[in-house]
Amino acid sequence: MALILAGLSHHTAPIDVREKVAISSHETPRVLEELAQITRARELALLSTCNRTEVYVVEGDAPAAPGIWAHLSRRLGGSADAASYGYVRRDREAAAHLYRVASGLDSMILGEAQIHGQVRDAWEASRSTSRAILNRLFQSSLLVASRIRTETAVGRGAASVSSAAVQLAKKIFGSLSGRRAMVLGAGDMADIALECLVSEGVRTAVVANRTHERAVSLVERHGGEALRYEECWPRLADVDVLLCSTAAPHPIVERAQVEPAMRQRGDRPLCILDIALPRDVAADVGTLDNVFLYDLDDLRSVVANNIERRRQELPSAESVIAEEVELYWQWLAGLAAVPVLRTFRSRMDRVREDELAHALKKLAHLPADDRAAVDLFSRALMNKFLHEPSVRLRAASANGHGLAIVDALRYLFGLEPSDSEAPSDDAPNVESR
C-alpha cells in the first residue's frame, strides 16, 4: 500500500498547460470514476485550482502514476506528455506536500488563504472515492493550515490573487480612486476583488454574471450595479479596469467585443486582469492598442517584493508540518498494522487448532481434564510465540516503520492483502486527537 500524488502546478507548468488540465467541479465525479478505473486505486482524491491539478491516490495492486499521466496527457490533446510538466510525491512527502498546499506555502502568493477552502471543497467532492486514509489526510491538512495561520505569521497580511491583481492595476493608473471597474464573475475570487477595488476608491463597480441573482448578491454587499453578460459589453467603453474571474471553460472576452470599445475610448487605457483558469480573455486581446492584459502568471512579479517577511516564517511553518506528518504517519502505520496483526494471529491460531486436533486423536485415551490441559498449553505456547512479534510490530508503527514491517510480515507468512484488511471509514477523526 502506497500513498502517492501526481500532478502539476504553477511551479512546473505554464498557464496554457494548466488551463487545459484544469478540472471543473461538474467534471470531477466523471474524472474520478475514470481515474479509478485506469489506476485501480484503493482511494482517490482530486484537487484542481487555478494553480494546480493534483491527484492523490492510495495505490491498489498497480502503480497509479502512469494512468494519471495518461489521463492528463489526453486533456492536453495527446501530443504532449503531462508527466514532463509534473511531479510525483510518495508517502510522507505526499502528506507534507498537501499540508503545504492547504497552508498556502505552495501557492503563487505565499500564505494566501483561499486555498484552505479549495482543499476542503476538493475533499468533499472526492468523498465517493476517498476512504479512511485520504479522508484523514485531507482532514489533517485543514488542521495544519489552521495551526500555521494561528501559530505563525505566514498568512498575516498575505495578499490574495484578487488583491494582487488590483495592485497590478494601480501600477497602470497610479491610483484607482475615482476609476470605474467591471467584474465578470460572482464567485469567491470576484468577491474579494470587488472588495479590494472598492477599498482602493473605485467609484463605480459593475458586476456581470450568467446567474444574475449572484451578481445582485455581490453588489448588495459591496455596492455597484449588477448586469447580465449580454448587457455588459457596451459598458466596456466606460470602465478603466476589467477583472475576469468566471468558471467558463473557454474565453468569454474576445477581440471582437473589446475592439469597438477601444475605438470609443480614444487614448484612455484599459487594464484587463484575467485571474481565471482556464483564462477568460483571448490572448489576442492584449495586442490591441492601450489594452494592458495580465493573467495569473503575471502576478508573480507584483508580489515578489513584498513576501520576504512571510518567508521568514517558513521555518516555523515547516516545523508544524513535520510534526503533523509524523502524527499522520504513525496513525497510518498503526491502521495498516492492526488488521494484518489480526490476520496473522488468526492464521497461527488455525495452525494451532489443526495440530492440536491431530495430536488429540493420538491421545484419545487421556482423561478430559488432561486433554483440556493440553489445549491450554497449546494456547499459552502460541501466545508466548506471538507476544514479542506483536509488541515489536506495534512499536514499529509508533516510530514510523510499521508499513515496512507489515509488508515483511505479509511476505514471510503469505498473508495476502484482502478487502477485509482495508481500513474502514470508522477510523477516528483527526480533530479528536
Domain residues of the chain, as ranges?
3-157, 161-306, 325-432
User: What is the pLDDT at residue 25?
Assistant: 87
Per-residue CA distances from 117 to 42, 114, 145, 377 (Å): 25, 6, 10, 59
**Successive 10-residue mean pLDDT values, the chain, 433 residues:** 92 92 92 95 94 95 94 87 96 97 91 89 95 96 95 75 84 90 89 87 86 88 88 92 92 94 92 93 95 88 68 92 92 76 85 90 88 91 86 68 72 66 47 41
Q: What is the pLDDT of residues 271-290, one digit of tens each?
A: 999 999 899 999 999 999 99
* pLDDT digit string, tens, across residues 16-75: 899 999 998 889 999 999 999 999 999 999 999 988 999 999 999 899 999 999 999 999
Phi, psi (degrees; rounded to nearest 5) at 149: -65, -35
Residue listed under C-alpha cell 470602465: 239
Mean pLDDT of the chain: 87
User: Which cell goes with 238?
Assistant: 466606460
Q: For the chain, how many residues are written?
A: 433
pLDDT of residue 432: 38
CA distance linking residue 12 with residue 21, whole number of Å? 13
pTM for this predicted structure: 0.70
Angle between helices 402-413 and 368-398 (to 10 degrees): 140
Is there a catalytic annotation at residue 50? Answer: yes
Determine contact, residues 240/270, Cβ cutoff 8 Å. Answer: yes
At 426 the pLDDT is: 44
Contact call for residues 272 and 285 (beta carbons, < 8 A): yes
| Catalytic-labelled residue, pool 50, 196, 244, 271 | 50
Residue type, 173: F
User: Per-residue DSSP letters for 148-192?
Assistant: HHHHSSTTTTPPPHHHHHHHHHHHHHS--TT-EEEEE--SHHHHH
Helices (H), 76-228: 92-102, 114-125, 132-151, 161-173, 188-199, 212-222
Q: How far apart are CA 409 and CA 395, in angstroms?
A: 14
Instruction: For residues 429 and 382, give the distance between their C-alpha atoms in angstroms, rounded to a whole number.
Output: 35
Which residue from 427, 406, 424, 423 is spatially nearest to 344, judged by alpha carbons? 406
Amino acid at 351: V
DSSP string, 294-352: E-GGGHHHHHGGG-HHHHTTHHHHHHHHHHHHHHHHHHHHHHHHHHHHHHHHHHHHHHH
2: number of Cβ within 10 Å:
14
State the fold for domain 3-157: Beta Polymerase; domain 2 (3.30.460)
CATH assignment of 161-306?
Answer: 3.40.50.720
DSSP lists the bridge partners of residue 273 as 243, 294
Give tens-digit pLDDT for 326-359: 999 888 877 767 777 788 888 888 889 999 899 8
- Distance, in Å, from the CA atom of 359 to the CA atom of 254, rounded to the nearest integer, reads 87
